[in-house]
Amino acid sequence: MSAVHGFGSVIYGRVFVNLPIPSTTTDLSNHIMIVTGSNSGLGFESTRHLSRLGVGKIIMAVRTPSKGEAAKQEILKSTGKLDSSIEVWSIDMDNQESVKAFAGRASLLPRLDGVLANAGIMTSHYTLSEESEKTLNVNVINTFLLFFLLLPTMRRSEQQTGNACRFAIPNSALHYMAPLAELNDKNILHRLNDSKQADMSGRYPLSKLLVLYAVREIAKRAKGRFILNTPNPSWCKSDLARETDSAGAKIAEKILARSTEEGSRTLVHGLLTDETSHGHYLTNCKIQV
């Protein structure tokens, strides 16, 4: 039934929902926001929206700076904003030392108003990375490492500006289809990192379920001074699922998938929404209860 619900939510969102174009009455000219994985796909379109809305400083956090610079120029050309309004910083979400270095650099920012932790991977191939399966390492472990390393900066910013920093982690309706049997072990990480037992066909959905679990738990334990949520952009036309190249998948994508720009609206909503979203899964720009 969970799988049916997840698939149904995709169809409903595609057929019956017209997502609002991001807007705000708040002056964002002095705000600073970070978008990881922002040189392409949802991250790129989210950055373009934030630039259009007048965010004073956007940090495009990317693995390949040259690609980030090219994306920056394309965004600035379309929004007409100043070159100084966007900076490109290096980060590799599959490398803990890189995440630590990035967070250390971010700690020197005068304020931090929003983080869209968009960078993620989807693969059916098992790869061990930093002693963890790569999907788990990128989508869950290092994403929350980044969150906790930035948390002191987020809290300091709120104390100085009165504006609670938003930290949004993209989710997916696929989490309804996660293989829960992989969690039936006393040592969950050992089970997930075991190449002989890992269910890689369901690893991406499971990673998004773990993100949801962590977001809810953190919100229970650490309320106030920041807003943590996990918005679902739904199925979008992007290169995330580039390993899936069958004719059937292409036809389904053409019929059911949103454009990348449409999906990015939900992520920007997660960055701009109020404290009622704290600890919640968001879909179609609304809290899913």
Q: What is the 3-state secondary structure (H, E, C) of the chain?
A: CHHHHHHHHHHHHHHHCCCCCCCCCCCCCCCEEEEECCCCHHHHHHHHHHHHCCCCEEEEEECCHHHHHHHHHHHHHHHCCCHHHEEEEECCCCCHHHHHHHHHHHCCCCCCCEEECCCCCCCCCCCEECCEEHHHHHHHHHHHHHHHHHHHHHHHHHHHHCCCEEEECCCCHHHHHCCHHHHCCCCHHHHHCCCCCCCHHHHHHHHHHHHHHHHHHHHHHCCCCEEEEEEECCCECCCCCCCCCCHHHHHHHHHHCECHHHHHHHHHHHHHCCHHHCCCEEECCEECC
Please indicate whether residue 204 is annotated as part of the active site.
yes
Residue 110 has a pLDDT of 98
- Say which CATH number the domain at 79 has: 3.40.50.720
pLDDT number for residue 192: 95
Number of domains the chain is built from: 1
Q: Report residues of the chain scoring pLDDT below 70.
A: 1-7, 10, 12-16, 239-255
Give the model's pLDDT for residue 17.
Answer: 75
pLDDT of residue 214: 98
- Say whether 237 is catalytic: no
Beta partners for residue 282, in sequence order: 231, 287
Distance CA 208, CA 117 (A): 13
Task: State CA 64 to chain mean position distance.
Answer: 18
Q: What is the pLDDT of residue 140?
A: 98
Q: Model-level pTM? A: 0.93
Residues 181-236: tens digit of each pLDDT? 889 888 899 999 999 999 999 999 999 999 999 999 999 998 778 999 999 998 88
Domain of residue 144: give its range.
2-287
d(CA 286, CA 48): 22
Helical axes 260-272 vs 41-52, angle rounded to 10°: 60
- Looking at 81, 176, 204, 281, which residue is catalytic? 204
| pLDDT computed for residue 194 by the predictor | 94
